[in-house]
A and B are shown apart, each in its own frame.
Chain A
Amino acid sequence: MIPEIGHFMLSLALAVACVQAVVPMVGAIRGYSNWIALATPTARIQFLLVLAAFITLAHAFVTNDFSVAYVAQNSNSALPIAYRLSAVWGAHEGSLLLWILILCGWTFAVTVFDKGLPPKFASLVISVLGIVSVGFLSFLLFTSNPFDRLIPALADGGDLNPLLQDPGLIIHPPMLYLGYVGSSVAFAFAIAALIQGRITAQAARWIRPWAIATWIFLTLGIALGSWWAYYELGWGGWWFWDPVENASFMPWLLGTALIHSLAVTEKRGSFKNWTVLLALATFALSLLGTFLVRSGVLTSVHAFATDPGRGIFVLALLGFVIGGSLVLYAWRGPSTFAGGSYEPISREVFLLLNSALLAVATATVLLGTLYPLALEALGLGKISVGPPYFNVVFSAVMLPLIAILGIGQFSRWKSDSPKRLIQNLAYPFSAAVAAAIVAMIMLGGQKMIAAGVGIGFAVWVISTTVFGIRERCRGRQHPWFTLFNLPRALVGQCVAHVGFACTIIGVVVTSFYSVDEHQRLAPGDSAELAGYEFHFVGLRTYSGPNYRSTEGNFELRRDGQFIATLKPEKRLYHVRNMPMTEAGISPGFTRDLYVSLGEPLDGGAWSVRMHYKPFVRWIWLGAVFMACGGFIAMFDPRLRSPAARRGEAPAKASSVDL
């Protein structure tokens, strides 16, 4: 009975979403204020209905209701409770429900924090979000109902994919979805602006924290996914340019461009068309990501559920939502975007250049992801694109981007003089060159030039950040007071840029200086790698809740000094009969040591893989810094609406704008 209630809630939610999509939109265009007033209650009711449906599905998982087909396919009575909950979004139907729940959650948040917007504009935003919701709710109800019954019920379920039975995977999908779906707010904002035919500075200011929040979730979601791949897949890699990884990376790249371009639009009133296009494209790529994962167009390690019928639905949805918005852009764009001027040497221009470079980077990733498909669709033969393509092309775009980032964050708004820039950039530039030379000497080896250059670029980001702050405080009456009272948006920017530099350092050092070795080891044997001794003490077997594990015991020493015990495992999950590897990792600030078990060999020996991965943590540490930077900037009081800041009723202030 309870699953049927969930199904009913979803049907109701669809009906409410239809009202939310149509009525406030018509009201805003025709100026019926009582129609506009329907936006907020419909959005909130829809959220509650979807939440109730989500809870009923979670309930079915917790109570092991194997008469629900989706539960029977993705859970098992032996599955620990935490994984039974995360199994709710472990496969297609449930993750789609989570997608919709998050969409409704974002819309709910918009209804709470829309005080800074004219009611007409806010109702347009909510109505566009309603249209997206109608599309996805129909997709869920008509092609992938999570509440479908399985009669007769199974005695026990088919278990959650063992790859997903991991703490990292409990939070990775919700984080990523918060980011994916969050881009719908900026999208709805852009559509509303196109419908109204203008973007006010007030509206641009309102959207900035939303775009940043979306970007924070994407950053953390991607970092978590990369970290998970690193320790769970047992290959020691942290990024594979897999189509599904790319699908999350592309909205991140464009989202990064968007938050920078928005800054210009808000502060200087320029690049409106570019900002709106970025907002549309970011959401388009989020939808494309959903399409790629769900349709089976591309085969990938991540494509857990693929079904061409669903693919057609998502493609139609993509065509309607994005195609429609681009038609609107082509039609309304020329009249919407006017105003804003800039000089050739100014911060605006550097920001524009970099957001263009980010768009180019996105295009190269998109090309690499879809190239095999495109060639085949055109009947030109079949090829595969591997990491070599991505690594080369992507670095080629990143280097100029980093160079411009440094100049850009040092330059002034509106207009700057090349002479001032060259004079003042001499210090940070020397610092970067010095760091590159020191890095080459310290790191050494065949790849020292490439590694040194990479480090030099990272230090360039840091040095321009530091000198930029110094420049700002110098010559003030109270330099220290200025330093401790920098605007939060600036502090956030600096923290995020330093985080970016950390990630670059991590990527460069790990890529060039990782060492790995593969050896046959029997208990009692030792192997040496990068000055560390891996001593294979022995093995034990134990039973987990739904698997059997063989656990190795390795002692890690350096110069005879004991450092850590590593316990790599080889697990066999009973229900799906799937072997899984759990790596044994000794984490460190400057290096990880990593061991994983391969196959058992004759005579009690095992094939054992050992990795030495210098600075690999910096990759994720940098991402955490970037997210923190975004978080700090998001709460800049200046970004709060003038009405909210003054604490007065919003209706009066904004009615003028209608």
Chain B
Amino acid sequence: MRYAIPLGVFVILVALLAIGLRLDPRYVPSPLIDKPLPAFELPDLADEQTIVTAADVTGKPRLFNVWASWCVACRVEHPLLIELAKSGTTSIVGLNYKDARDDALAWLERFGDPYERSVFDQAGSLGLDLGVYGVPETFVVDTHGVIRYKQVGPITTEALDSVIMPLLERLASEK
């Protein structure tokens, strides 16, 4: 009987992987798309006295980028965000996720700060509402604060050119 234990473990593993394959990590979990940003009241990263709410980050189309100083993949997409911010095509709000304030600020200083502002979500509560399960993730939010697209994992040039930029242009003209 004990010789069958490895087989049992393996069957469970394969089942998990098979389910994992069907969940395409690069696409939005459907419940969130076309829903408004969840309500939140969280401190600003740079200034802990300031409280940011969902209303503060709506009013024009924005990118909502989840990042953390401990996240390796964030450094990969970071140059793209910097470039995007420099070009002025969109403004980016950061959601600093499960991080320490000092680490996060040092990280921004080190790699550059593309964010209009960053929301400091130390407990990960907003991240949970947003269904964040890997960092980085990026949401495209329209003028009314409705989530229109979600990118899981680092933003790639392909995703930026083929999906995100066209969507932002459409949103800008949509009003």
Contacts and interface: CB of A to CB of B under 8 A. Distances in A.
Interface string A366-401: 000010111111100111101110000000000000
Contact of B133 (A295, A382, A607): A382
A377 B23 contact: yes
B138 to A, nearest CB: 12
Nearest to B106: A518
Contact of A598 (B23, B111, B133): B111
A143 interface: no
B17 A291 contact: yes
Contacts of A311: 21
Given A281-B6, A323-B7, A329-B7, A373 B154 contact: no
A312 B73 CA distance: 25
Contact of B157 (A291, A387, A577, A599): A577
A299 B152 contact: yes
Given A284-B10, A299-B25, A599 B109 contact: no
A291 B73 CA distance: 20
Contacts of B73: 299-301
B109 A518 contact: yes
A281 B132 CA distance: 32
A518 B134 CA distance: 27
Main secondary structure of the interface of B (DSSP, over half): helix
B19 interface: yes
B117 to A, nearest CB: 19
Given A384-B135, A598-B112, A609-B110, A312 B21 contact: yes
B68 to A, nearest CB: 8
A607 B79 CA distance: 14
A323 B11 CA distance: 7
A374 B12 CA distance: 10
Contact of B82 (A297, A318, A599): A599
A308 interface: yes
Name which of A297, A329, A374 has the most chain B CB atoms within 10 A of its CB: A297
Nearest to B79: A579
A296 B26 CA distance: 9
Nearest to A326: B7
A1 interface: no
Interface string A299-311: 1110000001001
A373 B3 contact: no
B3 A297 contact: no
Nearest to A298: B25
B72 interface: yes
B76 interface: yes
Contacts of B98: 384
Do most interface residues of chain A lie in helix, strand or loop, or is the interface mixed?
helix
B3 A299 contact: no
Contacts of A370: 13, 16
What's the interface size class on B, roughly? 35 or more
Contacts of A280: 6
A273 interface: yes
A235 interface: yes
A308 B14 contact: no
Given A291-B17, A299-B134, A299-B153, A330 B4 contact: yes
Interface in A87-120: none
Contacts of B110: 518, 598, 607, 609
Contacts of B21: 295, 297, 308, 311-312, 315
B106 to A, nearest CB: 7
Interface in B73-123: 73, 75-76, 79, 82, 98, 106, 109-112
A297 B112 CA distance: 30
Given A377-B16, A579-B79, A299 B154 contact: yes
Interface in A297-342: 297-301, 308, 311-312, 315, 318-319, 322-323, 326-327, 329-331, 333-334
Contacts of A315: 14, 17-18, 21
Interface in B147-171: 152-154, 157
Contact of A301 (B68, B72, B82): B72
Q: Which of B3, B4, B24, B73 has the most CB of A within 10 A?
A: B3
27 contacts: A277-B6, A296-B25, A297-B25, A299-B152, A299-B154, A315-B17, A318-B14, A322-B10, A323-B10, A323-B11, A326-B10, A330-B7, A373-B17, A377-B16, A377-B19, A378-B16, A382-B128, A382-B131, A383-B133, A384-B71, A384-B134, A386-B68, A387-B70, A388-B70, A518-B110, A577-B157, A599-B112
Given A330-B3, A382-B133, 5 more contacts: A311-B21, A312-B21, A322-B10, A518-B109, A598-B112
Interface of A: 233, 235, 240, 242, 273, 277, 280-281, 284, 291, 295-301, 308, 311-312, 315, 318-319, 322-323, 326-327, 329-331, 333-334, 370, 372-378, 381-384, 386-388, 518, 576-579, 598-599, 607, 609
Interface of B: 3-4, 6-7, 10-11, 13-14, 16-21, 23-26, 68, 70-73, 75-76, 79, 82, 98, 106, 109-112, 128, 131-135, 152-154, 157
9 pairs of A and B residues whose beta carbons are closest in the complex: A382-B133, A299-B153, A333-B3, A377-B19, A330-B4, A326-B7, A599-B112, A518-B110, A297-B20
